[in-house]
Structure 1
């Protein structure tokens, strides 16, 4: 099949490079390449529970008017700490901040305050609304994280999969014009297996849940929203993932550089989509090293 019939009856040609719907589904279903999915999900659950027990974990801090708009915060031991702002994945339709409490383990060991973002999920809300909520979360963190021991001048975004997409949308936000904040309020971003051109997903097995249309794709594909920025960007993926995830990161890398911004690529050897983020648990990992270099200004946009 080389075209898809839309809900309005319009015949939609498939995105360039995809010969069939099956090819799109195979490219963007990370479970197909998982080494041991059950073990990874068990690891997430066990490590997250351990993190909530062992860390000074504050759950459910509201940042907006809806019940879904809450943050889990893990304050650093000392005030004035760098901030790791983490956005979870789940293809905008699954998971919650508490499922990724273990993402605070490595940053906390490095002396950072960690903030885990919760947001509403599709199909109950649209992708536009999810992006609005994540922008509201970032705004809250910039304005209020000092109350939890964080330094608002040293916020680094982290995100995985759909969370990588949402992190990139934060980088592409006109903060000064819309929110009265500095134009580049973040010290950097480490985005793992992110989705930056979401057009193919409109034709995928995800569409019944995420319900993309042409306007949603245009407004929410960060690959096409890149602006000049002083925020350095690290783009990462697991080498055992489908090539589509590497392609998404390399395309975003090229787009970021094309605006005279700074970006690095960080492939993670022998990691699949689900194990790629385990580095955030360990202060000596490649991911935490990238995070620390961003905080210290050793990855710079100028």
Structure 2
């Protein structure tokens, strides 16, 4: 075990890493924020019919919700929730669907198995299985012939970045993404994840930048410095690799209010995403 106070990562010791990734401590009133998210999500489910808990595998959390906007062949916005791979549900964040729906997207809310029940390998496998399932589906609940955006917040942003090369996608928008698992493995977040060296290497998007779809990397400008660094470093690395990756810090937003912006049809993220989609490939 490292001695107390010994630097572990980029000059940060264990205690500093504990704080560097503690978003709920950094944002005052998080329980009230989550309760508001849940209330708004329940209202959306009540107001908007959807396919609820469609199965993409046999596991109890291998499920997705599909909200239709009412337009034939609408683009599809797939959203993966956060929670550091070990907490929350798609139902907690359904409220974000309102913005994309009003902009003419069909919306998919993805669920996946959480740690400690699932390893990172299994969590990543769940998202791959979901995308493969949707890509192979026919008719209303399929992706064939459509523009498809994969997005996700925090841990969901990590999973988004990992899958930006999936053949079913046309665009990606990781939000407040965690793109290097090494510091995650060195703090309290690893108590349930139990990341292996092989998983850190294979599933850190910052280390795995390859050919992928045009990508908009967003993050709240008032987030913790480490969260800002992850997004900024990933965008820079993407550009250096010759990829179509852009960086969008959201003024006045913290780790959770970035989702309020996403839920607004005229929010900065959706307007920027639509501009990217209209621009086409470079």
- Structure 1 residue 21: deviation in Å? 0.3
Counterparts of 1:186 and 1:4, CA distance in 2: 46
Match of 2:229 among 247, 255, 261: 247
User: Equivalent residue for 1:47?
Assistant: 40
Whether the aligned pair in 2 keeps the contact of 1:261 and 1:301 (CA below 8 Å) is no
User: Equivalent residue for 2:133?
Assistant: 140
Query: Pairwise mapping of residues 219-230 of structure 1 onto structure 2 (< 5 A)?
Result: 219-229=202-212
**Match status 1:207 vs 2:190:** yes
Q: Over aligned residue pairs, what C-alpha RMSD do you find?
A: 2.0
**Match status 1:65 vs 2:58:** yes
Q: TM-score, normalised on structure 2?
A: 0.93
Match of 2:248 among 246, 266, 284: 266
Query: Pairwise mapping of residues 72-111 of structure 1 onto structure 2 (< 5 A)?
Result: 72-111=65-104
User: Equivalent residue for 2:172?
Assistant: 189
- Structure 1 residue 25: deviation in Å? 1.1
- Structure 1 residue 148: deviation in Å? 3.0
Whether the aligned pair in 1 keeps the contact of 2:221 and 2:251 (CA below 8 Å) is yes
The more displaced of 82-91 and 215-224 is: 215-224
Tell me: CA distance 1:99–1:73, structure 2 relative to 1, closer, same or farther (3 Å): same
Q: Secondary structure at the match of 2:146?
A: strand
Counterparts of 1:121 and 1:240, CA distance in 2: 28
**Structure 1, unaligned runs of 5 or more:** 6-11, 176-181
**Structure 2, unaligned runs of 5 or more:** none
Counterparts of 1:145 and 1:278, CA distance in 2: 32
User: Equivalent residue for 1:128?
Assistant: 121
Map Cα deviations across residues 221-256 of structure 1 (whole Å, 9 max, x no partner): 011111123x11111111221111110011111121
The more displaced of 80-89 and 187-196 is: 187-196
Q: Secondary structure at the match of 1:250?
A: helix
Q: TM-score, normalised on structure 1?
A: 0.87
- Structure 1 residue 191: deviation in Å? 1.2
Tell me: CA distance 1:145–1:115, structure 2 relative to 1, closer, same or farther (3 Å): farther
The more displaced of 189-198 and 58-67 is: 58-67
Counterparts of 1:109 and 1:19, CA distance in 2: 43
- Structure 1 residue 45: deviation in Å? 0.8
Deviation >6 Å, runs of 4+: none
- Structure 1 residue 53: deviation in Å? 0.8
User: Equivalent residue for 1:275?
Assistant: 257
- Structure 1 residue 257: deviation in Å? 1.1
Counterparts of 1:56 and 1:209, CA distance in 2: 35
The more displaced of 272-281 and 150-159 is: 150-159
- Structure 1 residue 4: deviation in Å? 7.1
- Structure 1 residue 301: deviation in Å? 4.1
Tell me: CA distance 1:197–1:152, structure 2 relative to 1, closer, same or farther (3 Å): farther
User: Equivalent residue for 1:159?
Assistant: 152
Counterparts of 2:187 and 2:71, CA distance in 1: 46
